[in-house]
Every structure is written in C-alpha cells, then in structure tokens.
Amino acid sequence: MSPQEAQQILDQADLLCSAEKSALAVRRVAGEITARLATANPLVLAVMGGAVVFTGQLLPQLIFPLDFDYLHVSRYGDVTTGGELAWLVEPRTPVAGRTVLVVDDILDEGVTMAEIVRRLRQQGASEVLSAVFADKDLGRGKPVSADFVGVHLPNRYVFGYGMDVRGAWRNLPAVYAVKGL
C-alpha cells in the first residue's frame, strides 16, 4: 500500500479508542496484572508483531520481577481473514513449571490465542494467562477468553495500537475502524 493510500484510509476512518483512553486502559490492565502476578515471577511472552505497542507500554508499569520473551505466530500473513496457524518463532525461554502471561494486541476470533495457550500447556507451563489490548465483540462465543482486557471493540476492521490495516498504522496511539467495514 502506498503512503497516500494509507493516509486516505486513516483520514476516512472512525476513531474508536483515543490515545488517552488507550493509555488509561493499559494502566488499568497493569494494575490488574500486578494484583494477580506480583509474587509469581511470571514469564511474559509478547506475540509478535501486533503486541509490540501494547507490550512496550505495559511492561514499564509492571513493577515486579518477571522474565520476558516473545513468540511469533500468524494466521493472516498479508490477508485480512485467518488461515492456518504458522509458528514462526517459538519462545527461547523454557515454559515448563512457569506461570506464563501471553500478551497480544487483539482477541479477534480467539483461534490464535487458543492454540498458543494449548501449546504452552503442552510444553508444561503450570499456568497460562492472557492479556490483550482489545477484545473484539463478535456476537458469538470464542474458544478462549482473555484474563486481562484493555478495551472492548465492535466487530469492525480495526487498526492502530499494534493492529494494522494492510501492513500500515500499527504505530498509531489510538484505535480506528476502517470506514464502511
């Protein structure tokens, strides 16, 4: 997508969650995670690449000992509908016997997170929790729910705060919805 096309999408988009509301949501989630995991010495795993913004804002607010690593899985590639899950990078840190907190940008259909949780449990994690910046309301059940949620979003094509639209706009401090979708 050209920079002009990306700008046109943003110019026509609907603002769903302002930068201020996003920052407040992260602060609230950090408090909830701290209350639950401050004494657990958890392994925090960021799901690349969407979780970069949320993780980068969340980690400095978790003022307790933790280990950090990442994983990279994808169901989307360059398309907008989910396909088969591809494991691109597994965590280097062993998860066996650990409390693991998986951090991601959005819980959409829940398929990716469900598979991540299943795999980490299979590898021996004692507890697997998840934190997502956004949970999309699909109007139907999901195979997994997040333990910590920043904001709830309508069932629209969203971008910003780590979520992209055709590769663009992950870097926005707010969340937008593509006009008409």
The torsion region of residue 110 among left (phi > 0), alpha (psi -120 to 50) and beta comes to left
Q: Residues near 95 by Cβ (< 8 Å), separated by ≥ 6? A: 43, 120, 123, 124, 125
For domain 3-177, the question of CATH label 3.40.50.2020 is answered with yes
| Interior angle at CA 154, CA 151 and CA 156, nearest 5 | 120
Is 108 catalytic? The answer is yes
Question: Mind listing the pLDDT tens digit for each residue in 139-151?
Answer: 888 999 999 999 9
Q: Which residues pair with 67 in a beta bridge?
A: 43
CA distance 88 to 50: 14
Amino acid 94: pLDDT? 95
Q: Is residue 78 scored above 70 in pLDDT? A: no
| Interior angle at CA 152, CA 53 and CA 45, nearest 5 | 40
82 — pLDDT class (breaks 50, 70, 90): low
Question: Mind listing the pLDDT tens digit for each residue in 96-132?
Answer: 999 999 999 999 999 999 999 999 999 999 999 999 9
Amino acid 75: pLDDT? 67
Question: Mind listing the pLDDT tens digit for each residue in 20-60?
Answer: 999 999 999 999 999 999 999 999 999 998 899 999 999 99
CA distance 127 to 123: 11
Q: Which of 108, 135, 147, 164 is catalytic?
A: 108
Question: Mind listing the pLDDT tens digit for each residue in 5-20?
Answer: 999 999 999 999 999 9
The torsion region of residue 77 among left (phi > 0), alpha (psi -120 to 50) and beta comes to left
Strand arrangement, sheet containing 43-48: 86-89, 67-74, 43-48, 99-107, 127-136, 148-153
